[in-house]
Structure 1
Amino acid sequence: MSRLTQKQYQRHAMLAGAAYIAAMLLVWPLARTAVGLPLKVVLAMLPLLPMFYLIGLLAWRIRDSDELEQRMHLVALGVTGAVVAASSMVGGFLAAAKIVPLDGSILIMVFPLMASCYGVTRWWVARRYGVSVTCDDAGSVPVYLRFLLMALVMGLVALFAHYRQNDEGMGTALGVAAVFAVAGVVFGVRRWLSSRQGAPDDQ
């Protein structure tokens, strides 16, 4: 297996994330009305494919990292596991005591919780080590451009949802696209101001 560059990792991760979001908004809801158990299973499981790919991509990235990067990854993964385990136990006890009504659909939130916790923890650990996780180097896509590309992808998802007359999916996709677009503009302005001042660009 060849070495995975930062640029390749970012590109593949963005594509996998976009595929997951599109599948959740446009394909997964069809499982509720599909006829036949095999079709229901296929439609319900389809969003897992890009997530499994993303997990493998992360493992590949960690394998190709240096010792410092591996340490940051492993610390973030350890904290993520602890947070998700503790949250699951709290939710389980509350549900078992019938204090909070929870059903199986809550499990869908496990992976987003893990991804969010991992990202925040790795950012914090990187800051502790004096490493910027948002810097633009020669081998990576600028941060502002990543956000704008994701906004474009989500805009296309919203357009497709509108074509399919899926108002709920369209609204969600537009909301996500707006968040990505605002983030892209913010990082782009900061990058432009930094270049105008002649300071090193760290965003």
Structure 2
Amino acid sequence: MADDTQDNQSATSITSPGATATAQPLPKGVVLDKDGKPCRSCSSGAAFAAWASQAKKMKGTATATATATATTATTTTTTPPTTRKRTDCPADVETLGRSTWTLLHSIAATYPRTPTQSQQNDLTSFIRLFSKFYPCWVCAEDFQEYIEKEKIKAGSRDEFGNWLCEAHNEVNRKLGKPTFDCSRWQERWKTGWKDGSCD
């Protein structure tokens, strides 16, 4: 679901709360949310971390003068920063995208071979609503445009699986990633590879 428009915000500058004048450009890859703040779920983890580090430095600079004048005789103990990245942090755009595609392809793999009209309507409604609530607003708008251009095909498992695979490939092309052979989508998401390596 990630979109290649993430660099469109790079010229925007930021100031930390309480800072007076120093403005710096956002790190490359940081996307602003609609409220004008950096969007974690729209930015890569590295870009968001770079912004957070930059913001902390700016905050530190703004308070450095006050801290330097305050001298105390007490000793403070600092905890060294962890070198291992936590696994329980909010999702960045890549983590969110991988998880989303896994969910959607898994839905396609378990969708009925011959769905009822009600099931077809439900799936179409789900995909449309899903695109409106997707956490990365840039990706959400991109997916909504795709849905308008390429109508959702929900007439059968194979039809929906192929439609979804093509939607995923469209995103991959925009991101400069390799595309997937959609004739093999069921091997990837339902049955496992023919060589038995998933068994």
| Same fold by TM-score greater than 0.5 | no
TM-score, scaled to structure 1: 0.30
Q: Could you say which structure has the higher helix fraction?
A: 1
Larger radius of gyration: 2
